[in-house]
Structure 1
Amino acid sequence: MKTGINPSDLAGKKPLNFGKWISNVILTLSTLFFIFPFYWIITGAFKKQTTATAIPPEWFPVHPTLQNWSDLFKNAVWRWTFNSFFISFCEMAAVCLVAALAGYVLAKKSFPGRKIIFTMFVAAMALPKQVILVPLFTMLADFGWVNTYRGLILPAIGWPFGVFLMKQFSQTIPAEVIEASKIDGCSEVRMFSTIILPLLTPALGALAIFTFIGSWNDYFSQLIMTRSTSMMTLPMGIATLQGEYTTNYGVMMAGAALASVPMIAIFLTFQKAFTQGITMGAVKG
């Protein structure tokens, strides 16, 4: 009769990793914590006014209603949505193009003052937008660009963070690729458009997400630069639904849910490029 444990029986068994188990629990709880506000907005969009503000809260709409959505679309929601899409998309495209050009030049071209210019871009990242808002508004007013698409889009094109991100990522491009394209007779324009831009795709995806979401949620600048209802963006329009004495929170939650859909769609579209851009572009100094 044999006693004890055969070592071969334990060969295929792995010891319990408590550290990994605790990490999974923490990550799961953190995920639920950050998802809960979005869940509350979605469910609140289908609740009646009395239910949306009830104490104790109703965690799931027992009697869902579409009245909030009907009341929401009685306003100029489609115009606000178009403004938000147009402004955010134009800013995203312009910032990605300008930042890619500037970042590539700062990373791969040698010229006097290159380091000073890059230092100025890095220093500008620490400057709050509110500091330059008054002189910026004065300048746009002199141009006659207040309450126009130009006044909302053009000031955001030279985003310092975009130049910084693209410069860091451009440093990962091998110099041999650039030299080989020059030997083959590529012009600077053709080399940048056919060789450099495809290599910058991961960083451009990350920058596109940052720019679109930042522009979509830039309530403060849009509040200062707009004057008419027809120029309002979706976040601004939703804010106007709040009354002075009473507020229909169900309608506001419906508007917030509608405003969150484009940001989620943009993130899911560029998610892979976003992850690659952040992890690869951050390893070069």
Structure 2
Amino acid sequence: MTLKKIEKGFMITLLIVGGILMMIPFIWMLGSSFKPESEFTIIPPTIIPNNPTMSNYVDLFSKMDFLIYLKNTIIIVLCSFIGLFLNAIAGYAFAKFDFPGKNKFFVVILATMMIPSQVTMIPTYLIINKLGLVNTMAGMVLPGLVGAFGIFLFRQFMSTIPTDLLEAARLDGAGEFRIFLQLIVPVVKPVFAVQGILTFIGAWNSFLWPLIIANDQKLYTLSVGLSLLKGEYATAFGLQMAGAAIMIVPIIVIFSFFQKHIIEGYTISGMK
């Protein structure tokens, strides 16, 4: 056996062992979500429940407002995808249009990426309060519709699209909106895939801003609802594990299916 094959086998073994170690907490969480409370005190502890039950998930939606939290989270996710489309339009404008102050304005947008989100929360809250949108779904959604990173990523990719292609479409009578939908969007699918997945993860995990802007529990998201389990249900470990599973499993599934697009999108963006 050559040295190269030995190194390859060692690396594969190392990756497999590392992957299993990384998955143990998730397997433990998922298995524990189906355990009755009495099984959490068993020694030695069990990863796979001896007497699996769905009572933790039933209690999660019957004793708490997790169905409402789920609905609010889905609304935020859907609105975030609208923001994804707005980011693409802004990136297209910066890439293919000339207007006064374009470069300076783009530099200002990039500069906002260096400002921590915690710094802008108080000014944003004051603006939302002046608009009368505190404790509303619009107040939770509007501040996160567009982002500097999304605009930057779309702009960098779209700037490589030949301008002659757009000019030919304009000569054929196509409007700008049609050009964007039929020419630009199909070309930038990798960036849409990357931003779409990152947008979903960010919106699904939204915690701090909904906690600040919402006074009514009817507007809480899954992340905020999960934090509430540490209070009244602090000793209900099965209930907490079920809540954590609802939060994490969809992200793991979506990332597993679309991780190829994430890597491809970043690779292509870097090459451009």
Instruction: Please report the TM-score for the alignment, with normalisation by the length of structure 1.
Output: 0.86
- 2: CA distance between counterparts of 1:208 and 1:239? 26
Query: Structure 1's 70 and 245: CA in aligned 2 closer, same or farther, altered over 3 A?
Result: closer
What count of residue pairs does the alignment treat as equivalent?
Answer: 271
Gaps of 5+ in 2: none
- 2: CA distance between counterparts of 1:21 and 1:175? 49
Q: Which shifted more, 176-185 or 141-150?
A: 176-185
Q: What does 1:190-269 align with in structure 2 at a 5 Å threshold?
A: 190-243=178-231, 246-267=234-255
| Amino acid paired to 2:162 | P
Deviations 1:10-59 (A, max 9, x none): xxx98742332233223223322332222121011012334336565322
Query: Structure 1's 179 and 220: CA in aligned 2 closer, same or farther, altered over 3 A?
Result: same
Q: Find the counterpart in structure 1 of residue 108 from structure 2.
A: 120
| Amino acid paired to 1:84 | T
Deviation >4 Å, runs of 4+? 13-16, 53-56, 268-272
Q: Find the counterpart in structure 2 of residue 5 from structure 1.
A: none
- 2: CA distance between counterparts of 1:97 and 1:218? 19
Which protein has the larger Cα radius of gyration, Structure 1 or Structure 2? 1
Q: Give the percent of matched residue pairs that are identical in Structure 1 and Structure 2.
A: 36
Q: Contact conserved, 2:206 with 2:221, CA < 8 A, in 1?
A: no
- 1:89 equivalenced with 2:81 (yes/no): no
Q: Find the counterpart in structure 2 of residue 149 from structure 1.
A: 137
- 1: CA distance between counterparts of 2:129 and 2:270? 39
Q: Find the counterpart in structure 2 of residue 79 from structure 1.
A: 68
Q: Which residue of 109, 121, 125 maps to 2:97? A: 109
Q: Find the counterpart in structure 1 of residue 167 from structure 2.
A: 179
- Alignment RMSD, CA only? 2.3
- 2: CA distance between counterparts of 1:245 and 1:158? 37
Query: Structure 1's 159 and 195: CA in aligned 2 closer, same or farther, altered over 3 A?
Result: same
Q: Which residue of 47, 61, 78 maps to 2:49? A: 61
Query: Would you tell me which structure has more helix in proportion to its own residues?
Result: 2
Q: Find the counterpart in structure 2 of residue 51 from structure 1.
A: 39
- 2: CA distance between counterparts of 1:100 and 1:282? 18
Q: Which residue of 19, 29, 33 maps to 1:41? A: 29
Query: Structure 1's 164 and 187: CA in aligned 2 closer, same or farther, altered over 3 A?
Result: same
Deviations 1:138-182 (A, max 9, x none): 111111111111111110012111111111221232333223212
Gaps of 5+ in 1: 1-12
